[in-house]
Structures are given as structure tokens and as C-alpha cells.
Chains A and B, each alone.
Chain A
């Protein structure tokens, strides 16, 4: 790793990923990944296709059982506390599925009522309105476009207000206006203490994650705050994802002969 700025592992941290490895058959998708996240942090996972970003998110959400290592939320291992994880972590995949029989509004209603909440309607209507879905509230999500489906999934997640929101390629399905709105929304939730971990190939200019995790071939090859990475990777121009990724890969290659 180029320069690991990951805080010391602390059992009190909101999220601790400790030496997590995962194999798909003989393919090593994740290799001894270690990271932590604190409340109100926004972390961007950056990497090429197949670098292991989505797998890492799935492991954190408990959707995929890790081959080695542990993931804990508030000190509790996710393996033994599935229900606890469901209460605090929501993962938004890039193509979320929905119930065929429920309308958009009924999805919101179902989630709220399943959690036993009484006064959820205003918040739900506000969320749907913010993402331009209020007029389609009585339509079935399978008839929505990909972007609309992603927005509905986002509304469902934000209604639940998890402690940790994991987003896989959130900007892929969204139009530019919705992408800007999403960042505004995410920043608001970050300020309220929600931890956001997202994987992306593109970020709007106004997006300022607290930390980047740069992944390559299942490993975290560089991590840290934007300023730290700018220094350690010697990036002169604007701190784009492209620059980050290329510099981190180059630094890793430079370092490998010394290791050998």
C-alpha cells in the first residue's frame, strides 16, 4: 500500500473491516482488506472494473460471506448479528429489484410500516418529490426506467435512515441533475452523521469525500484523505478519480521491484 491513512483499528469504530478476503472459486476477489469508517464519513471506493469494489460492499452488507477476516458494525460481528446489520446497514446495488405487486408508494409504506413507524407519510412524499417520483407514486416500479428505479431504491434507503449507506455505482443510472441532487442529499445526511461508502467511476466536481480507498486486484493500494493522497501520490493537477487511480497504480508498480 502506498500510504495507509486508515485510522488504527478500534472496536468502537462504526465499521471495522479487518483482513477480509473473498474468493469466487479460485479467483481472489478480495485480499486482506482492512479499513474503518466513522460516523459522518463519506468514503469513495475507486478502482478499475473487477477491482473488488462491489464485492467489498457486499461483504460489508453481509450479502456475501467472507472467506477470511471479519466485518463488524459497532463492535458486533456481522456474521452473528444479521438482524442488527439489517437495522444499521443498507446496500444499494446498481440495479435494485422490487416487488412486482407493490407500487412505488406501497414500497415506501411497506418499509415504514414493517419498521412500525407511524408518521412516515410526509417524509416519504418529500423524498419521492425530491427525486421526481411523486407523480409516479401509484405506478409499478418494474415499469420505471433504470434511473427511476435507482431513485426509488434510494428513497427507500433514505426513509429508513441507516447508520451506514453503501452505494454501488450510484451515478451510473442517474441523469446529471439527479446526480447533483443526490450529492446535495448525501452531504446533508453526512452532516447528520450517516456514514456513506460508495463505489464509483465518476464523481461530480462538487463531491468532496472525506477519504478515498483505491482498489486494484482485490487489494487496497492507496487510501487517505484527498490532501494526503495528493501529497503521497504526487498529483499536481486537479484531483480527479482518473488521476488518483493512475497515480496509485503507477506508484504500486514502482514499489513492486523494491519489494521483490
Chain B
């Protein structure tokens, strides 16, 4: 067993080094030369990277510390709400981890692993242990940074300013919590792979969902304790038995996982890893083109299903709209994402307006809108325009296509944003300004994305046009103090973008 672990660890280490060299090559490193200059260049790149990470961390730490101080001065209720909601968020994350581990094998194999690891005489525990360790380590790194920033945010209001020990405590407590959460997930997932009876039960994943969510309602102390334990640790108020309990629980789960993993059915693992392997094979494309990754996921989900609903008998432009509606009906999560996006961005803007927060936050808001618009809004339009083979069958101009393709997600975003706006209880004058602007801004957002889709540099164009078409009306509104002037500027931006979409799509 130890020999197998060493072999597999060696393989993973080589893969990690190859990946690292690949990324360094992107930055100009030439490993083939083997010169001292190239080695120095790697050291230089690593130094720059480390400095950047440190600088970003220091900047984030400072920002969060200042925001934390504001919480006490202006809205102490917000701090209490955040502390109350944190254990629930931890529970939701744990539920997600358990459900995904039970739905499909937690041990994922690439195509190379299928051939050289699953097909080898290595102990079956070895890939499970290495896979679990890699995943837990990766999740710990990400979650500990997020939780450390959260700790600074909620500790600084009570202590004046959080120091390094707060972040160290946050990072430390996250380790056993991650091992417990992912350990339990992997143990359940592996149990399903070991036991054919469990595997046949299609809706097994609903069980952890129901247990945890019902537990949160009826016996909250039994399921919300991990989040509460983390809060106690960052405030340095934990009872003496908490650390031994966390470490003991994590150890027991890992031991149980190692024991059960000896009986894993590798054929089943391969079968359930195909989607992962396809995406992993994309390499850098999976990151550069998230749409491609999403399409592979959609195809995989759809492959085993019968078509839901039928394309209705309507003609001309209406068949475009019907096809878009059918696409969204077959993938309703696109609409849900769109609505959630509308809710989140509207709520963020309400916070900025009501709290009269600095203009930098508006710029940040605008950047988020430009970089990460709702993914569902242009889902159908993008395929229509980007796939030239399909485009040639559509006797419509780009604007006609856009209008037909975005109706449903447009409505979803607008409903989400308007709903949040109306729930604030603003006086009628302020509420009506929101009702005027939100539909127009969402349309502008769609037009910016549509125009960017027709160009070579999609992200840059989207950022530029979004910045310009949102920023100019905002500026006009602030300078003149009249929302109508802002509306006119927005209308002008809209007509310009419509012209560009008609010309290019």
C-alpha cells in the first residue's frame, strides 16, 4: 500500500510539475534551453507572483478591516445578522459537498488515469487517498483565505482592528472542518461505489439534502455546529474540548475512508468520470472558454433524457423566440441564474446607494457587471452568432436575433432586480426611477454583450462598451442631477449598440 502511494504520488508530482512548466511557458519561460538565465527567470516569476499575492492579501486585509470598523459605527445589526447567517452558509456548503459526492463519484479520473491508474495493479486505496488529499488541500487553501477575510471583518468591530492571530486561527480551524466535510462526502460517495444496492438507488443524493435541511429546521444545534465552532475559534472563545473533538472526528473519517476505499468499483468510477475527463482534456481551454465547458456539461446532462416539450408550430421571427424559449425550458437553471444575478446586483447597488458608500464601489460594481454578466442572458444568442454554419440558416439580422433570443432571460433578470428594488420600501419617486432604469440597463447589458460577441476581443470589448454605456448615463445623471438626462444618454448608447449589432451579427 505505501509503495503504491509512493508511485502514485510520484506520478501526481510529475503532472503538477508539467502543469507548472506549462503555465511558466505561457509567461515566457523556455525550459528547453536549460540555461542559468532561464532558471533565474523562473525565480523572478515566482518572486513576482509571491509579491503580488502578498500585496493583494495586505490590500484585502486592510479593506476588510476598515469595512469591519464601519459595521460597528453605522450598522451593528448587520454584524449580528452576518454572525447568524454564517453557520447556515457553512451548512449549505456542506450539503452541496455531500450531495455532489453522492450523485457522482468523488474520485474523478482523467482519460490518462483511466488507462494507467485504474487499469494498473495498484491498490484501489491509493488513488482514493491521493485524490482526497489533493481535493481537501485545494479546498482548504481557497476556503481558508475566504474565511480569514471574513474573520477579520467580524472580529475587527469588537477589537478595534483584527491582527494576524485572527487570520491564523481562521486558517487553522478551516483545516479540520474541510477534512470533516469532504471526508464525510467522500466516505458516502465511496460507500455508494462499493455497494451496488446503493448505486441503483437513483435519488440517493436527496437523502443528505433532506436530512441536513430538515435538521437545520428541527434540531439546528445538531447540524449548525461546524459554523458555530469556527466562529468560536476566531473569537478565541472555544471550549477546551473543541480542538480535540475536531481533530478526532477528522481522523476517524479519514481512517474510515481508507478502510472503505479498498473495495471501490473502478469500472463504476471510470463510467462516472467521463464528463470530468472530457472537461479535463480541454486543458487551458476549459478556463479560457467556460462556455465550452458549460456546453459539455449540458450535453452530458441531456444525453440520457428524452426531449422535454416540443418546438411549437410558429413561423418567421416567432419560431426564433419559440426555439429560445424551448432552450431555456430545457435548461431552466439558465433563467434561475439570470434572476439570481439580477437580485444580487440590484441588492449591491441598493447597499451602495443607501449606505452612500464611496464611488470606488460603483466602479467595482461596474467591473463585476462588465466581467461577469448573467451567463444565461446571451446563452442562445451566442450560439446563433458564433456558429456560422447555423447562422446561415437564419434569415434575420442581428438585432432581430437578439430580441428573440433574450426575451426570457431578460425578463428573469428584470424581475429579480425590480423585485429587490421594490422590496426596499423606497418612496414612490425613488421607486419609479428604479423601474425606469432597470429594464433599460439590462437591455444595455445585453446589447454590450451581443456586440462583444461579434468581435475578436470579447472581454475587452464587453468591458469597454459596458463601462461606457453604463458610466456615461451615470455621469450625466450625477452632473445634471436629472434622471431624464441620464435616460436620454442611455437611450443614445442603446441605439448606437443596436446599429453595431445589426451590422456585425
Contact = CB atoms under 8 A, between A and B. Distances in A.
A153 B393 CA distance: 11
Interface string A87-103: 10111110011111111
Contacts of B302: 100-101, 140
A177 interface: no
B199 to A, nearest CB: 24
Contacts of B383: 99-100
Given A110-B311, A110-B319, A113-B314, A99 B390 contact: yes
Contacts of A111: 393
B316 A142 contact: no
Q: Give the interface SS of chain A, mostly helix, strand, loop or mixed.
A: mixed
A161 to B, nearest CB: 12
A124 interface: no
B323 A153 contact: no
B299 A100 contact: yes
A54 B162 CA distance: 63
B389 A92 contact: yes
B367 to A, nearest CB: 30
B358 interface: no
A117 B331 CA distance: 28
A106 interface: yes
A89 B395 CA distance: 12
Nearest to A92: B389
A102 B311 contact: yes
B218 to A, nearest CB: 40
Contacts of A87: 395
B201 interface: no
A216 B423 CA distance: 68
B385 to A, nearest CB: 12
B313 A156 contact: no
Contacts, number: 86
B392 A86 contact: yes
Contacts of B315: 113, 116-118
A142 B299 contact: yes
A260 interface: no
B316 to A, nearest CB: 5
A82 to B, nearest CB: 9
A16 interface: no
Contact of A100 (B295, B314, B320, B395): B295
Interface in A118-167: 118, 138, 140, 142-143, 153, 156, 160
B34 to A, nearest CB: 30
A225 B404 CA distance: 47
A83 B395 CA distance: 6
Contact of B393 (A93, A116, A140, A156): A156
A61 interface: yes
Contacts of B369: none
Interface in A25-83: 61, 63, 83
B327 interface: yes
B303 A142 contact: yes
B396 to A, nearest CB: 8
Q: Which of B388, B389, B395 has the most CB of A within 10 A?
A: B389
A30 B326 CA distance: 42
Nearest to B387: A97
A102 B393 contact: no
A231 interface: no
B37 interface: no
B298 interface: yes
A102 B323 contact: yes
Interface in B295-326: 295, 298-299, 302-303, 306-307, 310-311, 313-316, 319-320, 323, 326
Nearest to B504: A82
B327 A143 contact: no
B299 A91 contact: no
26 contacts: A63-B388, A90-B393, A92-B389, A96-B389, A97-B390, A99-B323, A100-B298, A100-B302, A101-B323, A101-B331, A102-B311, A102-B326, A103-B307, A106-B323, A110-B319, A110-B323, A111-B393, A113-B311, A113-B313, A113-B319, A114-B395, A138-B306, A140-B303, A140-B307, A143-B303, A160-B393
